[in-house]
């Protein structure tokens, strides 16, 4: 999975298309990510001991990682490519080659 927690991404499809946010969580097994303030649903919660009042909370739901693109600080949404050096590989922008 190329996207990592903390990456800035733009949503490519769906109701939040065009929105940008930070990746809060990645789920490598299902290839999904949670992006801050993207795919928010209203969840109705019941009153519990921990939360005395029931009510409606906003919850960020996972979106498919293929529906978001990483955002390069100089060229915007882009593809991730890798630059191989002696000991490691570095993630770079597929357009400008800058660090991601």
**Count of residues touching Zn ion (by CB under 5 A):** 7
54 within 8 A of 45, measured Cβ to Cβ: yes
Using DSSP's 3-state secondary structure scheme, residue 67 falls into: helix
Choose the stretch contacting Zn ion; rule: CB under 5 A; options: 3-11, 32-40, 49-57, 86-94.
86-94
Q: Does 96 bind Zn ion (CB under 5 A)?
A: yes
State how far the alpha carbon of 2 is from the alpha carbons of 33, 55, 89, in Å: 11, 37, 12
- Smallest gap from Cβ 97 to Zn ion, in A, equals 7
In the complex, the residues that contact Zn ion under the rule CB under 5 A are: 72, 74-75, 93, 95-96, 98
């Amino acid at each position: 999975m190329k996207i990592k927690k903390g990456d800035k991404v733009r949503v490519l499809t769906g109701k939040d298309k065009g929105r940008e946010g930070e990746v809060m969580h990645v789920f490598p097994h299902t290839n999904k990510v949670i992006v801050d303030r993207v795919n928010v649903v209203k969840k109705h919660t019941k009153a519990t001991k921990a939360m005395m009042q029931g009510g409606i909370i906003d919850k960020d739901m996972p979106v498919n990682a293929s529906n978001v693109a990483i955002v390069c600080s100089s060229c915007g949404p882009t593809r991730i490519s890798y630059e191989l050096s002696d000991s490691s590989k570095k993630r770079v922008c597929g357009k400008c080659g800058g660090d991601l």
